[in-house]
């Protein structure tokens, strides 16, 4: 055991010195989390509000202006223009200045005074289908609220008094009451950052040894594959933990994402995921003997699955069934579920143990495969 620790420590010291003597790689490892947090956490927002809207008011009466005031009072719509015909509204959508056009018919006030139903036309720019669908839901909500107000006024005029709604819906959102997309994005972004940093950096380390001819020197030493992997991994564990700590601090204090769970639970999940991600990078490095191929394989197998198949931005339940099946082997899927649970829900081991078990098993399996592969290379 003493010899094992001594050889592992020697490899770790060598890797630390190499990282310190390669400021470009160190700067990349520390700068990538900063730029990813800035880009995705600050610039990327899934919140749909202040939708640019044009009103086609063919009625021009106090009733139509009252309806427009309901739209202007909503934070979801920014009324950028009120016109009398469809031509300028159509141009606004074509030029990208407006996403929604709401058309008020010419008989709007007369039908309202008679107590009849009125058809309000909503035109949406379908080139952004997700935002258009959400904006349509907002428009339905505003129209529904205005409809209830008009019915109450009409009932009072008839002497029926206030009309109570048949069903009164009370909505309460748990864990993210303000529905801020940052609370959804930033925890998942931690997983993407760690996956990219761990896989890309470690995928180059053994390939670099082959290119520089250092692997032949290692072949003449008593260093064993598991000692080589653990020694090289230890340096990147420190970098990964530093990146994770930085991402958590930025998310908590800069973006204001609540951290309701335990730091110990968060740390254990980070270590388990980081170990597996580092082993995966070393496995890629053992397979590829040149850094370019190792970098391309690391990018293809780490960033893309973590970004597209983990539930980071896109709901897995909305994906085709074959893609959902593939997502079960993506470790970021389980880590992101833990991160969101720890940050927003304060979940404990009774809930997150299946995800942790998968991460532990994944890390152990990839470590064994990487050791076996490296042993074949050394043989």
Domain of 132: which CATH number?
3.40.1710.10
Residue 342 covered by a domain? yes
Q: What is the extent of the structural domain holding 73?
A: 51-157
Tell me the C-alpha to C-alpha distance, in Å, between residue 314 and each of 76, 185, 341.
23, 11, 17
pLDDT tens track for 320-331: 889 889 989 999
Task: Give me the mean pLDDT over the 166-193 stretch.
Answer: 76
pLDDT tens track for 35-71: 877 777 776 666 677 889 999 988 888 888 888 888 8
Token pair, residue 192, equals 């993407």
pLDDT reported for residue 8: 81
Residue 160 scores a pLDDT above 60:
no
Residue 244: phi and psi, rounded to 5, are -65, -45
Are 150 and 212 part of one and the same domain?
Answer: no
Tell me the pTM: 0.78
3-class DSSP assignment, residue 81: strand
Residue 359 covered by a domain? yes
In this structure, the number of other CB atoms found within 10 A of the CB of residue 52 comes to 18
The full DSSP string for 281-312 is HHHHHHH-SSHHHHHHHHIIIIIHHHHHSSSS
Residue 166 scores a pLDDT above 80:
no
Token pair, residue 141, equals 């909500």
Are 196 and 307 part of one and the same domain?
Answer: yes
Are 144 and 247 part of one and the same domain?
Answer: no
For the chain, how many structural domains are there in total? 2
Residue with tokens 């609370």: 183
Residue 297 covered by a domain? yes
Are 323 and 340 part of one and the same domain?
Answer: yes
With the CA atoms of 243, 19, 276 and 311 taken in that order, what torsion angle do they form, in degrees rounded to the nearest 10?
A: 40
Does residue 276 contact residue 226 with C-beta atoms inside 8 Å? no
361 — pLDDT class (breaks 50, 70, 90): very high
Are 140 and 222 part of one and the same domain?
Answer: no
Sequence-distant (≥ 6) Cβ neighbours of residue 101 within 8 angstroms = 53, 54, 55, 56, 86, 89, 90, 92, 93, 121, 122, 123, 124
What string of H, E and C letters represents the secondary structure of 92-124? HHHCCCCCEEEEECCCHHHHHHHCCCCCCEEEE
356 — pLDDT class (breaks 50, 70, 90): very high
Are 240 and 353 part of one and the same domain?
Answer: yes
3-class DSSP assignment, residue 79: strand
């Amino acid at each position: 055991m003493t010899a094992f620790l001594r050889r592992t420590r020697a490899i770790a010291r060598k890797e630390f010195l190499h990282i310190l003597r390669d400021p470009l790689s160190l700067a990349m490892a520390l700068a990538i989390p900063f730029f990813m947090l800035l880009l995705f956490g600050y610039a990327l927002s899934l919140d749909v509000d202040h939708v640019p809207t044009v009103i086609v008011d063919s009625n021009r009466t106090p009733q139509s202006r009252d309806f427009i005031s309901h739209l202007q009072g909503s934070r979801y719509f920014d009324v950028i223009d009120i016109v009398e015909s469809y031509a300028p509204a159509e141009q606004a959508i074509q030029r990208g200045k407006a996403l929604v056009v709401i058309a008020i018919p010419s008989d709007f006030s007369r039908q309202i005074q008679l107590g009849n139903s009125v058809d309000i036309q909503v035109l949406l720019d379908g080139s952004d289908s997700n935002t258009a669908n959400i904006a349509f839901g907002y428009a339905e909500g505003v129209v529904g609220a205005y409809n209830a107000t008009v019915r109450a006024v009409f009932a009072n005029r008839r002497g029926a008094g206030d009309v109570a709604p048949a069903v009164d819906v009370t909505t309460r959102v748990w864990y993210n009451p303000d529905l801020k997309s940052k609370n959804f994005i930033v925890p998942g972004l931690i997983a993407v950052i760690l996956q990219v940093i761990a896989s890309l950096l470690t995928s180059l380390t053994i390939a670099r040894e082959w290119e520089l001819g250092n692997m032949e020197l290692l072949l003449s030493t008593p260093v064993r594959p598991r000692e080589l992997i653990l020694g090289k991994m230890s340096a990147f564990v420190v970098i990964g933990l530093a990146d994770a700590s930085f991402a958590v601090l930025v998310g908590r204090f800069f973006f204001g994402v609540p951290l309701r769970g335990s730091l110990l639970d968060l740390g254990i999940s980070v270590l388990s995921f980081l170990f597996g991600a580092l082993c995966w990078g070393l496995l890629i490095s053992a397979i590829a003997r040149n850094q370019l191929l190792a970098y391309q394989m690391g990018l293809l197998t780490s960033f893309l699955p973590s970004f597209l198949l983990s539930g980071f931005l896109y709901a897995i339940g909305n994906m085709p069934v074959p893609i959902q099946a593939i997502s079960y082997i993506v470790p970021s899927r389980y880590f992101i579920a833990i991160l969101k649970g720890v940050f927003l829900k304060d979940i404990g081991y009774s809930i997150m143990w299946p995800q942790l078990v998968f991460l532990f098993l994944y890390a152990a399996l990839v470590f064994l495969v990487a050791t076996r592969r490296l042993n074949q290379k050394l043989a």
